[in-house]
């Protein structure tokens, strides 16, 4: 993600200015991180409009707790950890609105999966399936893939040991396969059929 | 489950949840909305600005208070001079704890005209309480 390649010192400079009383300097942080935060929020709630509201809450909490950022880790790690907590609380309060997997349109033919439209539909279905996972597996899967399969980064964001994250990921994938297998009526919800259902 | 299958699921999840797909573009109003809330938060956490003491308004009151206090002290001393022997008066003036000495020496409070003393003290308190009320009114107006 390009936004994450921003020089860290820009963030640190803005943090120092905000803590020094220059509230307007926070706008720089918002401009740099609004894309990633809105997109991460979307992963949690599956609703673009709500994602912006959740990102707003995350930024507001970041502003309130800016003094707790010590600079010993990357600003992005601190911000993502904080935002993840906000999003987790939000979806606990108002669960994500999802399309029931059984109601999702099934691709007409395996060949059509190559079509962009079908691919997007598949993505949406997989996303919905992830959102139905228990919170700890859902968070592990969302953060791991959102952070480009960077296990240490995802573990730092979730504040769990890497081993724990690996275990959650493994269990999450297992549950996901079973859920996705239901897309294919008449087929048992085995790992193998689920994988066929997902990958086509 | 084979390594290939695992990789396929990884690929599918990355495509669905990865950082670049689907890339939502935040609305242009987002920064503005966040900053509006941040400014409101900053103002709220800063609290009301400390009020400068209204010296100009308080000065007449303080001056009046000082005058009344001086008059009271003069009345006390005059009363003491009228009713106490000269030796007691000189002792009274030389002692720093003259009030205690006056009470213990005189014994009879009525002879010091304590009623007048109380009235004088009340008069001294009036400008002080007026000043306090003025400050409170101004503070309430600012909060509103």
* Residues in chain A within 8 Å Cβ distance of B37: 56, 60
Sign of the CA dihedral with B19 first, then A17, B31, and A41 last = positive
Q: Would the pLDDT of A196 be above 80?
A: no
Give pTM, 2 decimals: 0.61
The predicted pLDDT at position A187 comes to 45
Max mean pLDDT among A51-60, A120-129, B76-85, B111-120 falls in: A51-60
Q: Would the pLDDT of A160 be above 90?
A: yes
* Residues in chain A within 8 Å Cβ distance of B17: 43, 126-127, 130, 141-142, 145-146
- Nearest residue of B to residue A24 by CA position? B35
Contact B30 A1 (CB under 8 A): no
> Of A51, A55, A126, which has the smallest distance from its Cβ to B12's Cβ?
A126
The predicted pLDDT at position A143 comes to 93
Closest Cα in chain A, distance from residue B50 (Å) = 18
Q: Would the pLDDT of A37 be above 90?
A: yes
pLDDT digits (tens, 9 = 90+) for B12-53: 888 888 876 667 889 989 999 999 999 998 888 776 666 778
- The three-state (H, E, C) secondary structure of chain B, written as one string: CCHHHHHHHHHHHHHHHCCCCCCCCCCCHHHHHHHHHHHHHHHHHHCCCCCCCCHHHHHHHHHHHHHHHHHHHHHHHHHHHHHCCHHHHHHHHHCCCHHHHHHHHHCCHHHHCHHHHHHHHHHHHHHHHHHHHHHHHHHHHHHC
Q: What value does the mean pLDDT take over residues A180-185?
A: 65
The predicted pLDDT at position A1 comes to 46
Which tokens is B40 given? 């409101």
């Amino acid at each position: 993600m390009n936004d994450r390649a921003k020089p860290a010192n820009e963030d640190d400079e803005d943090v120092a200015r905000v803590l020094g009383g220059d509230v307007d300097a926070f706008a720089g942080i918002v401009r740099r991180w609004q894309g990633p935060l809105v997109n991460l929020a979307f992963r949690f709630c599956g609703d673009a409009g709500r994602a912006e509201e959740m990102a707003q809450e995350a930024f507001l909490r970041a502003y309130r707790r800016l003094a707790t950022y010590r600079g010993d880790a990357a600003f992005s790690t601190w911000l993502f950890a904080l935002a993840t907590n906000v999003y987790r609380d939000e979806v606990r309060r108002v669960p994500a609105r999802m399309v029931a997997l059984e109601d999702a349109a099934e691709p007409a033919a395996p060949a059509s999966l190559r079509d962009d439209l079908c691919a997007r539909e598949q993505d949406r279905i997989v996303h919905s399936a992830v959102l139905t996972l228990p919170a700890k597996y859902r968070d592990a899967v969302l953060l791991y893939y959102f952070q480009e399969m960077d296990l240490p980064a995802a573990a730092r964001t979730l504040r769990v040991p890497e081993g724990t994250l690996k275990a959650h990921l493994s269990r999450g994938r297992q549950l996901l396969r079973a859920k996705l297998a239901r897309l294919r009526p008449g087929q048992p919800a085995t790992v193998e059929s689920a994988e066929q259902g997902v990958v086509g | 489950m084979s390594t290939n299958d695992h990789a396929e699921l990884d690929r599918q999840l990355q495509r669905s949840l990865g950082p670049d797909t689907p890339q939502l573009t935040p609305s242009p109003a987002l920064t503005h909305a966040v900053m509006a809330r941040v400014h409101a938060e900053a103002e709220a956490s800063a609290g009301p600005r400390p009020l400068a003491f209204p010296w100009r308004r308080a000065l007449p009151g303080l001056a009046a208070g000082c005058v009344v206090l001086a008059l009271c002290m003069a009345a006390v001393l005059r009363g003491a001079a009228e009713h106490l022997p000269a030796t007691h008066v000189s002792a009274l003036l030389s002692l720093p704890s003259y009030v205690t000495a006056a009470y213990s020496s005189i014994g009879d409070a009525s002879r010091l005209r304590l009623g007048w003393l109380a009235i004088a003290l009340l008069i001294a308190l009036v400008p002080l309480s007026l000043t306090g009320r003025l400050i409170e009114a101004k503070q309430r107006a600012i909060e509103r």
